[in-house]
Amino acid sequence: MDQAPNPEFLADITGALDWWRDAGVDLDLLDEPVEWLAEPGDDGEMRRRAAARRRAPVEEQVPAAPPGIDPAILPADLAEFTRWWMSEPLLDAGRTSARVPPQGKAGADVMILVETPESEDRETLLSGPQGRLLDAILAALETRRDEVYIASVLPRAVPAPDWTQLRTEGMGKVLLHHVGLVAPKRLFTFGENVLPLLGHELPRRTAISQNFNHEGRSIPLLASWGLASLLNHPSAKPVLWKTMLDWSAA
């Protein structure tokens, strides 16, 4: 005997379909494409076609490393090096705006090296609070800006340089070449990232005094915390002062 349909069950199914239809879902979608017009028994062919249409995985594109700086292209004259420093596209990924030139003459008694210009710098290197601290340090050494050579490792202010990448790109060779062109009698560096570019280990103290050997010359080297760090930690200045006395007497 046939059993009569369950009206409550039909009402539940109809209600569920109506609910999805009101929600805007009126299609049944599958993840894999189906060839509805294929002849019966063509399941294998359908799977092959579906597999062929699947998108191949996209390989992650690794950006090419920027070309390193060949020391052979570095100018042999200090004035020409300054022009190259301000316009060379291999430096700073080609960004030439906001670059700040070094200051001074070859053969200076002291060459000052900092990591980057200050953010305020435009025409003059270290024109902000770091520069005022440097002026005070130079006065303690009984000298002035116009008697020393001042340069930065990078041509413009950069908030967070990738120093490892910069070494890979050859900035250490550029810096060594720059020091060689200036040929100072003494070298004074500010910032922990300068020494590794010169071939020395990271400084372990507020300030250290040692010798810098390059191209057959050995000159006294004083390496200190960066000027910004010295401004933020006044207690470090006595250590710097004592090391400066040892360095100036060398």
- DSSP labels, the chain: -PPPP-HHHHHHHHHHHHHHHHTT------SS---TTSPTT-HHHHHHHHHHHSPPPPPP-PPPPPPPPPGGGS-SSHHHHHHHHHH-TTGGGG--TT----BS-TT-SEEEEESS--TT-SSSSS-SHHHHHHHHHHHHTT--GGGSEEEESSSS--SS--HHHHHHTTHHHHHHHHHHHH--SEEEEESTTHHHHTT-PPP-SSEEEEEEEETTEEEEEEEE--HHHHHH-GGGHHHHHHHHHHHHH-
Whether the model pTM is above 0.85: no
pLDDT reading at 51 higher than 70 = no
* Domain ranges for the chain: 72-249
Residue 232: the pLDDT is 94
pLDDT digit string, tens, across residues 130-149: 999 999 999 999 999 999 99
In order, the DSSP letters of 200-238 are -PPP-SSEEEEEEEETTEEEEEEEE--HHHHHH-GGGHH
Tell me how crowded residue 192 is: count the other CB atoms within 10 A of its CB. Answer: 17
Q: Are 114 and 191 in contact (CB under 8 A)?
A: yes
Residue 201: the pLDDT is 76
- Sequence-distant (6+) residues with CB within 8 A of 116 are 152, 153, 154, 156, 157, 158, 161
Q: Are 209 and 247 in contact (CB under 8 A)?
A: yes
Residue 19: the pLDDT is 72
- Mean pLDDT is lowest, of 46-50, 153-157, 189-193, for 46-50
CATH of domain 72-249: 3.40.470.10
- Nearest Cα to 179, choosing from 201, 163, 160, 195? 195
Q: Are 108 and 185 in contact (CB under 8 A)?
A: yes
Instruction: Classify residue 108 as exposed, middle or buried by CB count within 10 Å of its CB (0-12, 13-18, 19+).
Output: buried
Residue 13: the pLDDT is 75
204's tokens: 């372990």
pLDDT digit string, tens, across residues 211-243: 998 878 899 999 999 999 999 999 998 999 999
What residue has token string 């894999």? Answer: 32
How far apart are alpha carbons 238 and 224 in whole angstroms?
12
98's tokens: 């906001």
Residue 216: the pLDDT is 83
Q: Are 239 and 135 in contact (CB under 8 A)?
A: no
